[in-house]
Structure 1
Amino acid sequence: MSGEVSAAGPLGRLARAAGRARRDPGVAATAGRRAVRVTLAAVAGFYVGLYGLDRPVAATYALFGAVAMAGLSRIPGTGRQRARVVAQLLPLGWVLLTLGSVLAVRTWAAVLGMLVVGFLLAFGAAAGPRLAGAAPGLQLLYILPCFPPYAPDTLGERLGGMTFGLVLLIAAEAFVLPDPPTRSYRDLAADATDLAARCAGRLAEQPWKLPGGEREAALAAIQGLRLSNVPEAERPAGPSRRERALTHAGRAARVLLAHLGELDARADGPPGPARAALLRQVAAAADGSTRVLRSGRPADPAPIEQAAHDFQRLRSGEAADGPPAGTAALRRDAVLAETAEAAAALAATAYLATGARSAAEPLRRSELWYADRSDAALWAHRFLAHLRPRSVYFQNAARLSVGLAAARAVAGVLSLPHGFWAMLAALTLTRSTAALTRETVRLALIGTLVGALAGAGLLVAVGHRSDVYAVILPVVMLATFCLGPTRGVGWAQALFTLTVATVFAQLAPAGWHLAEDRFLDVFTGSVIGIVIGLAAWPKGAHRQLHRDLAELLRAVAASTVVTTSRLTGRTDGQRQPRLLDALVMAESTYAQYQCEVLRPRPAGDRPDWQAALLAGHHALRGVRRFQRDEPDSAGAADVVDVVEMDGGPAPLPVDPVLGRASDVARIYADTAAYLAGAAADRPVVPAAVPEPDSAGAAAPARPLLFDVYAWLDSLRRDASRLLDSPLPPPGGQSTRA
Structure 2
Amino acid sequence: MSWFAALRDSVRAGLKVDRSLSSPRRALRGAVAAALVVFPTLALAGPGPATSAAMGAFIAGTATFQRSFRPRVSLAVAAGIGLGVSTFLGYLAVGIPGAFPVLLALWAFGAGMAWSIGPSAGVVAATTVSVMLVVVQLPVSVPTALGHGALCALGGASQALVVTLWPIDSWRAQREALADAYAELAHYARRLRQDPVAHVDPAPFITARHAATLTPWQARHRPPELRGLRGVAERIRPTLAALADPKVGAAAEGPERDRALELLAAAAETMDALARAVRTGEPYRSPKSSPALTLTARDPDTADPEHAVLTGAARRSARRLTSLLRRAVDTLDREDKETVSSPVAGPGLRRPPLFRLAPSVLLAVRRQLRPHSAVFQHAVRLSGVVTLSYLAAKVLDLHHGYWAPLTAAMVMRPDFAQTYSRGVARLAGTVVGVAVSTAVVQLFHPGQWLSAALAVAFMGGAYLTLRTGYAVMTACVSSYVVFLLGLQPGDPVRTATDRILLTLIGGGIALLAYALFPTWQTARLAERLAEWLAAAGRYGASVLTVFGEPGRGGEDVRSALLDSREARSELLQAIDRADAEPVRHEGQLPELTRKQIDKARAAVGMLGRSTVLMEAHLPPAEADPLPGAVEFAEELRDATAIAAGALLVGDQVEFAALRALHRRWDAELAALPPSHRIEVARAGSRMVLAALTDLEKATKARRVPSGA
Q: Calculate the TM-score normalised by the size of structure 2.
A: 0.60
Structure 2 equivalent of residue 168 of structure 1? 158
Contact 1:239–1:382 (Cα < 8 Å) also in 2 = no
For the residues of structure 1 that align with 2:608 and 2:462, how far apart are their CA atoms?
44
> How far apart, in 1, do the equivalents of 2:346 and 2:546 lie?
32
Asked whether the equivalents of residues 429 and 437 of structure 1 are also in contact (C-alpha less than 8 Å), the reply is yes
The equivalent residue for 1:49 is 41
Instruction: Please say if 1:502 is aligned against 2:483.
Output: yes
Closer/same/farther in 2, CA of residues 560 and 453 from structure 1, 3 Å limit: closer
CA distance 1:415–1:676, change in 2 (3 Å): farther
| Partners of 2:84 and 2:18 in 1: CA distance | 39
Q: Match for residue 56 of structure 2? A: 65
**Where does residue 22 of structure 1 map in the other structure?**
18
Following superposition, the deviation at residue 62 of structure 1 comes to: 1.0
1:709 corresponds to which residue? 682
| Aligned ranges 1:646-657 → 2 under 5 Å | 650-651=627-628
> Residue by residue, what CA displacement relative to the aligned partner does 1:263-316 show, whole Å, maximum 9, x if unpaired?
767599xxxxxxxxxxxxxxxxxxxxxxxxxxxxxxxxxxxxxxxxxxxxxxxx
How much has 1:154 moved relative to structure 2?
1.5
Instruction: Label 1:703 to 1:610 Cα distance change in 2 as closer, same or farther (>3 A).
Output: same
Name the CA distance, whole Å, in 1 between partners of 2:240 and 2:208: 30
1:653 and 1:130 map into 2 onto residues whose CA distance is: 42
CA contact (8 A) 1:564 1:661 kept: no
Q: CA deviation at 1:700?
A: 8.7
Q: What does 1:222-233 correspond to in 2, within 5 Å?
A: 228-229=203-204
Matches within 5 A, 1:125-524: 125-128=115-118, 130-132=120-122, 134-145=124-135, 151-175=141-165, 178-179=168-169, 181-182=171-172, 184=174, 188=178, 228-229=203-204, 235-236=210-211, 253-261=232-240, 352-353=347-348, 355=350, 378-379=360-361, 381-389=363-371, 391-412=373-394, 414-463=396-445, 465-466=447-448, 469=451, 472-483=454-465, 485-489=467-471, 491-524=472-505
Q: Which residue of 1 aligns with 2:281?
A: none
Q: Closer, same or farther in 2 for the Cα pair 1:411/1:678, shift >3 Å?
A: farther
Partner of 2:66: 75
Partner of 2:89: 99
1-structure distance, mates of 2:321, 2:449: 72
Output the CA distance in 1 between the equivalents of 2:383 and 2:11: 33
For 2:524, the aligned partner's letter is Q
* Displacement after TM superposition at 1:97 (Å): 2.5
Contact 2:529 / 2:571 at 8 angstroms: preserved in 1?
Answer: no
CA shift for structure 1 position 425? 0.8
Instruction: Verify the 8 A CA contact 2:73 2:160 in the aligned structure 1.
Output: yes
| Contact 2:458/2:479, CA 8 A, preserved across alignment | yes
* Structure-2 residue corresponding to 1:38: 30
CA apart distance, 1:450? 3.4
Instruction: Tell me, yes or no, if the aligned pair for 1:101 and 1:146 is still in contact at 8 Å.
Output: yes
Amino acid of the residue matched to residue 424 of structure 2? R
1:708–1:482 Cα change, 3 Å:
same
Q: Which residue identity is paired with 1:65?
A: G
| Map 1:634-649 → 2, pairs under 5 A | none
Give the 3-state SS of the residue equivalent to 1:507 in structure 2.
coil
Larger RCO, structures 1/2 (Cα 8 Å, 6+ apart): 2
Displacement of 1:355? 5.0
Counterpart position of 1:279: none
Give the Cα–Cα distance (whole angstroms) in 2 for the partners of residues 469 and 133 of structure 1: 27
Give the drift of 1:515. Answer: 0.6
Query: What code does the residue aligned with 1:418 have?
Result: H
Aligned partners of 2:532 and 2:568 also within 8 Å: yes
> SS in structure 2 opposite 1:403?
helix
Matched AA of 1:118: A
Q: CA RMSD in A?
A: 6.5
Shift of 1:139: 3.6
* Structure 1 residue 543 corresponds to structure 2 residue 523: yes
Distance 1:419 1:461, change over 3 A: same
SS of the residue corresponding to residue 211 of structure 2 reads coil
- Structure 1: distance between partners of 2:532 and 2:206: 28
Maintained 8 Å contact 2:238/2:613: no
Alignment of 1:663-674 (within 5 A): none
CA contact (8 A) 1:692 1:705 kept: no
1:496 positional shift: 3.3
Q: How many aligned positions are there?
A: 574
| 3-state SS, counterpart of residue 76 of structure 1 | coil
Q: Tell me if structure 2 keeps the 8 A contact 1:407–1:525.
A: yes
Q: What are the superposed Cα offsets for residues 517-545 of structure 1, whole Å, 9 maximum, x if unpaired?
A: 21122122112211221234343x34323
Are the counterparts in 2 of residues 73 and 134 from structure 1 also a CA contact under 8 Å?
A: no
Classify 1:548/1:158 alpha carbon distance in 2 versus 1 (closer, same or farther; 3 Å).
same
For 2:207 and 2:312, how far apart are their aligned partners in 1? 43
Find the aligned partners of 2:377 and 2:611 in 1 and give their Cα distance: 27
2:28 maps to amino acid: V
Question: Which position in structure 1 is the counterpart of 2:593?
Answer: none
SS at match of 1:42: helix
Structure 2 unaligned regions, length at least 5: 1-8, 252-310, 328-340, 549-559, 582-596, 654-658, 704-708
Q: Gaps spanning 5+ residues in structure 1: where? A: 1-12, 197-211, 269-327, 357-369, 569-577, 600-605, 627-639, 681-685, 732-737
User: CA offsets per residue over residues 569-588 of structure 1, 9 Å max, x none?
Assistant: xxxxxxxxx99978755544
Q: For 2:429 and 2:349, locate their aligned partners in 1 and report how far apart those are by CA, in whole Å.
A: 49
Partner amino acid, structure 2, of 1:709: R
Q: Is the 8 A contact 1:650 1:701 kept in 2?
A: no
The alignment-based identity, stated in percent, is: 18
Q: Give 1:427 shift.
A: 1.9
| Cα distance, 1:611 vs structure 2 | 5.9
1:200 maps to none
Q: Are residue 123 (structure 1) and residue 102 (structure 2) matched?
A: no
Q: TM-score, normalised by structure 1?
A: 0.58
Shift of 1:59: 0.5
CA shift, 1:426, in A, is 1.1
Structure 2 CA distance for aligned equivalents of residues 231 and 424 of structure 1: 33
| Matches for 1:597-636 after TM superposition, within 5 Å | none
SS at 1:514 equivalent: helix
Aligned CA distance change for structure 1 residues 675 and 718 (closer, same or farther; 3 Å):
farther
Instruction: Please say if residues 104 and 145 of structure 1, whose CA atoms lie closer than 8 Å, have aligned partners that are also in contact.
Output: no
Question: Shift of the alpha carbon at 1:188?
Answer: 4.8
Secondary structure of the structure 1 residue equivalent to 2:168 = coil
Corresponding residue of 1:112: 102
Structure 1 475/94 Cα, relative in aligned 2: closer, same or farther at 3 Å? closer
SS at match of 1:650: coil
Corresponding residue for 1:84?
A: 74
Contact 1:553–1:612, Cα closer than 8 Å, also in 2? no
Q: Which amino acid aligns with 2:627?
A: A
Secondary structure of 1:512's counterpart equals helix
Q: Return the letter of the residue paired with 1:405.
A: T
